[in-house]
Structure 1
């Protein structure tokens, strides 16, 4: 385990940054709206821009993983994330914010899949979901930092200075990843992967897309994490501001609690596939409870603050089952296709993260940013989870024991 510690710490660092960038818009949404004169639709697109960028480059990232390794790919792309953070810090309008988040999204495109790619080589398959849960749970330090701490920074020195500091941190993490991460464990004695020709890379990608059982996993993955992050990372802050009139730090405190709940949920789900000897049961259970909580929020008009907070926190806990889907997706592919396989699975998540925030932005704008608008958002997200679950019925289980 000691030999794996530098790897785990740097994987946590690079995913912390990605998490911060993902959800940072939520807590400072009113300030962004004021300073950049944003509409609800533009705010939704700014939330989605990050994930459209992630989606657009997943296939190249998978090819780069298999050809150049995760170490060099993540370090190089992180430099783009730094530039995107600087762009956001200098944003003058909605176009600048969307452009900056697009660049950051490209820069973070390899972060989470590097965890799956590297942990699948450094940890045995039966413990992969648990290892992923450690890293993904710890990565939510970035989510927590984008809550009350970012609200405090925005209120004291301004959100622009916060993104300038974040650019410097991103550069340090990129350098550290290049210097200390290795693509294979030191005890690995097998031959290094042969460098494939471009034609062989494309044939491997085609093989990935023809993998039996891939479609149902992609269908569930489209909605699972995207649903949770649409609430936590995009509309949680505006909902608390528009409906419950919370100020920046108060919103940050609630989002902090939601982020902590997500961390605890990830840790709880991590070993559940081994306890139940089924990943499919874990995913179905998490999706069902999440749908019920969203339905309750959709049906209740103007709930008291304490109840709204309780439901939001519970939702973030129970909707944290995405790592189990990731482990299930990774189990579909041999090691030689690991990079292309995990990034193909991640494309579904990225597409969901791009579509749901933007789509719900139109709902919020159509209903006037009030209680009714957010109830329709919750109902739409519950319906999406239901559709994903219906398709997931046909998924091939990858039981562990």
Structure 2
């Protein structure tokens, strides 16, 4: 719903707004947990099922492949049927995926489960963002995106030390049964509380587009000036960070530094916590600067720099590795401004499909980068580590992290060609 369509309507009570934002953030917590849940338990899966790095990479990235594949039809469905219905239709799929993951004893079964999780979570970010465009002024969008990402990333925290703790106490299988129950409860809360538009808002004057017209609108989206440069930075900006946090960070500190389950959970916990702080800090920077390209550029280049620092100093334990992971988590929190820049390109008729198409780049990039880095790490032969265990050498992770840094820099060079509309601060 446009800003004009809210004109004249009484603002919803603060309690209503709080409940809405809370439940929308809660469902995103589920998505953030599931997408990042392989990193901590990867060594456990590898030991139990004998999985190679390439197979771990495919297993983790399958979530993002399914998630990305759903984005285009999801954007059409959101514009046509509404974000709430889309979220309710998909939450059951995520629950089923969690249960299959808990009961599977083969790579195939786990991969199918990850695909179902990805499909089920595909609406848990775009649905809330579309609701925010209908409830709030456009100038608040980046800040609300930061809130959505920041609070939702509590799910990433749960996928670190708490997941390690639960895995050590109950096992990873029982843990995913607990997650399935939690996801079902959150879905029920969405059904009870969420609304596609605020009470008393004036309905859209135009009729809903037909399915043919909706898909035709995708062609309009990709022809919007600046779409492809934004697509490029979306493709790697988040993916580079989550490839470390959600997949290789755990195996890296295990192979290179000898960290056990609890220690790798703790270091990923502080990295995720730093990202949450970063998401809240970066969210309002577009209004501070009046434009979005500068903060996105600072965030992207800082992310690339920290990945290179990890390549050089990552074999040093203690305070050094914690500091690297913390700073990397913080600087990678520029995603809200990046998302706000993408949203600014589209008018209200295309906003659902536009931001969803860009989210396809965000999630598709994770699939591609996780899969490629799995191949890179797997290309290095296993060695005997200082702990006496068999794992991958530091050089394998250096090659993977340097590749991620290069991708970010190349995407940023192209991103700089995108138009940068002035932020509306009125």
Whether the aligned pair in 1 keeps the contact of 2:98 and 2:113 (CA below 8 Å) is yes
Whether the aligned pair in 2 keeps the contact of 1:37 and 1:93 (CA below 8 Å) is no
Whether the aligned pair in 2 keeps the contact of 1:293 and 1:315 (CA below 8 Å) is yes
Superposition TM-score, scaled by structure 1 size: 0.97
Deviation at 1:304, TM superposition (A): 3.1
Q: Which of 242, 261, 281 matches 2:274?
A: 261
SS of residue paired to 1:267: helix
Cα distance in 2, alignment partners of residues 8 and 253 from structure 1: 29
Whether the aligned pair in 2 keeps the contact of 1:302 and 1:371 (CA below 8 Å) is yes
Q: Structure 1 residues 29 and 213, CA, compared in 2 at 3 Å: closer, same or farther? A: same
Cα distance in 2, alignment partners of residues 193 and 174 from structure 1: 30
Q: Which of 352, 370, 391 matches 2:414?
A: 391
Cα distance in 2, alignment partners of residues 199 and 143 from structure 1: 38
2:229 matches 1:206: no
Q: Which runs of 5+ in 1 are unaligned?
A: none
SS of residue paired to 1:202: helix
Bigger CA drift: 17-26 or 289-298?
Answer: 289-298
2:356 matches 1:333: no
Which residues of 2 match residues 239-250 of structure 1 at below 5 A?
239-250=252-263
Q: Which runs of 5+ in 2 are unaligned?
A: 1-13, 383-391
SS of residue paired to 2:122: coil
Q: Which of 395, 405, 424 matches 1:372?
A: 395
2:37 matches 1:14: no
2:166 matches 1:153: yes
Look up the match of 1:59.
Answer: 72
SS of residue paired to 1:111: coil
Deviation at 1:306, TM superposition (A): 2.2
Whether the aligned pair in 1 keeps the contact of 2:25 and 2:148 (CA below 8 Å) is yes
Q: Structure 1 residues 35 and 56, CA, compared in 2 at 3 Å: closer, same or farther? A: same
Could you say which structure has the larger radius of gyration?
2
Cα distance in 2, alignment partners of residues 176 and 302 from structure 1: 45
2:259 matches 1:236: no
Cα distance in 2, alignment partners of residues 163 and 323 from structure 1: 29
Whether the aligned pair in 2 keeps the contact of 1:301 and 1:372 (CA below 8 Å) is no
Deviation at 1:300, TM superposition (A): 3.5
Which residues of 2 match residues 41-120 of structure 1 at below 5 A?
41-120=54-133
SS of residue paired to 1:110: coil
Look up the match of 2:181.
Answer: 168
Cα distance in 2, alignment partners of residues 68 and 178 from structure 1: 15
Whether the aligned pair in 1 keeps the contact of 2:270 and 2:325 (CA below 8 Å) is no
Cα distance in 1, alignment partners of residues 377 and 171 from structure 2: 26
2:341 matches 1:296: no
Q: Which of 134, 138, 145 matches 1:132?
A: 145
Deviation at 1:302, TM superposition (A): 2.5
Cα distance in 2, alignment partners of residues 195 and 301 from structure 1: 53
